Structure 1
Amino acid sequence: MFLYHYYEKEIGPFKNLSDLTAEEAELVMEKIKKQSPSSYTAKRDINYMKRRIEYETLGRKLFLKKGGKPTRKAPHYMVVEECEFLKSWYIDGCFVKISVEKFDLNTISFTYGDMHPTFSPKVNDGKEYRKKLYTYSEILKIIEKYGLPQLWNADGKFGSERYIEVQIWSDDIISKYL
């Protein structure tokens, strides 16, 4: 299995808004809105960072309960396998591709779909993977059961699941790409 991280070529990989202060993150988001108003990122609302921090905090707590060993307060993000939808978020989209075998599995978690709709109190469709975070062995079973969302829901007409998000809770492997 390969994990992908998509990014804007001009900015570079693994630039994490969660590593910034709230003010710095807001400035970055405003800059994106001005420079790339039609980008997916530019469409995020004013409360995006507040929700993101809430979901990251919840994700970290759930991961710790499962025996995870995060060394970061907030994760870096990747997805399971290639996803054209994510590449389309960028004007000059690039990606980093890393085998899951390179990671310490105790430092990575997964959500079936993006963390935002997965943990959002507004999404109550009864799907078994809502409000859940998975370890590597657990996500393999979910993939076996449902497949990769980017294959069965490439255009998003079947819901918010467009990819499997991977939360990387360590800088060990990521630091080689910064």
Structure 2
Amino acid sequence: MTYYLYHYFEEEMGPFRNLSSLTIEEASKISNQIKYEGNTFASKRSDDYLMIRRELEEVARNKFIEKGGKPTNSFPHYMTLESCDWLKTWYKKPSSLAIEWNEFFDESISFTYGDLFPTMRYPDNKPYRKQVYTKKEIRKIIEEFGFPQDWNKMGDQGPERYIEVQIWGEEVIKRYIL
């Protein structure tokens, strides 16, 4: 089966704008601006969000390398495996794009069953917690658990709302950066 990877973003900003690509000072400034403007999902993030994010990205990168991944970036760009309408609510004027997953080399993308934050931090001992998956592995997880965006549309069944994709290189996405 062929899957599509979706990226959601603020229409006026364009796709693949990444806080992790900035210095901590620049990222903090933007994060604070988002908080000040309010009314979006991102405006509710904790003060230590950026530090936690960078730590979790490093953990995910190292786990991916252990499984044969060859990231060229020290931080990922984020997408979802298949669409997740809930993510549109994160933005004032949402936009999205879809890219067929076979456009990406297997060694350049990893997956978490759910957003990186709850996947690595939520203490419920589900078998997919604290795990990073390859393309081959995520197919088996989907067979076993399905897509969270299908069984947890309202978010009332746990923190997993989608399968997150971490893109560890610029090869494909550079075509979409404005």
* SS in structure 1 of the partner of residue 111 of structure 2: strand
- What is the CA deviation profile of residues 6-39 of structure 1, one whole-angstrom value per residue up to 9, with x for unaligned ones? 000011100000000111001111221233x121
Q: Which amino acid aligns with 1:25?
A: A
- SS of the aligned residue for 1:15 comes to coil
Q: Counterpart of 2:12?
A: 10
TM-score, length-normalised on structure 1? Answer: 0.97
Matched, 1:176 2:178: no
Partner-residue secondary structure (3-state), 1:61: helix
Computed over aligned residues only, the root mean square deviation of the Cα atoms, in angstroms, reads 0.7
Q: Counterparts of 1:110-129 in structure 2 under 5 Å?
A: 110-120=111-121, 123-129=122-128
Aligned mates of 2:152, 2:107 — CA distance in 1: 29
Q: Which whole-Å CA distance do the structure 1 matches of 2:46 and 2:13 have between them?
A: 21
The residue identity in structure 1 corresponding to 2:131 is K
Distance 2:48 2:33 in 1: 16
Identical-pair percentage: 49
Q: Tell me the residue number matched to 1:105.
A: 106
Match in the other structure for 2:42: 41
Q: Measure the CA separation in 2 of the matches of 1:48 and 1:126.
A: 23
Look up the match of 2:87: 86
Task: Report the equivalent of 1:24.
Answer: 26
**TM, length-normalised to structure 2:** 0.97
Residue segments in structure 2 that go unaligned for 5+ positions in a row: none
Q: Show structure 1 runs of 5+ residues with no match.
A: none
Q: Which amino acid aligns with 1:170?
A: G
Which letter does structure 1 place at the counterpart of 2:56?
Y
Aligned length: 175
CA offsets 1:80-137 (integer angstroms, 9 cap, x no match): 11101111110110001000011111100000000001111xx221100000000000
Runs of 4+ in 1 over 4 A off after TM superposition: none
**2:32 corresponds to which letter in structure 1?**
E
Q: Secondary structure at the match of 1:88?
A: helix
2: distance between equivalents of 1:175 and 1:68? 20
1:160 aligns with 2:159: yes
Match of 2:132 in 1: 133
2 CA distance for matches of 1:60 and 1:101? 20
Partner Cα separation in structure 2 for residue 27 and residue 96 of structure 1: 27
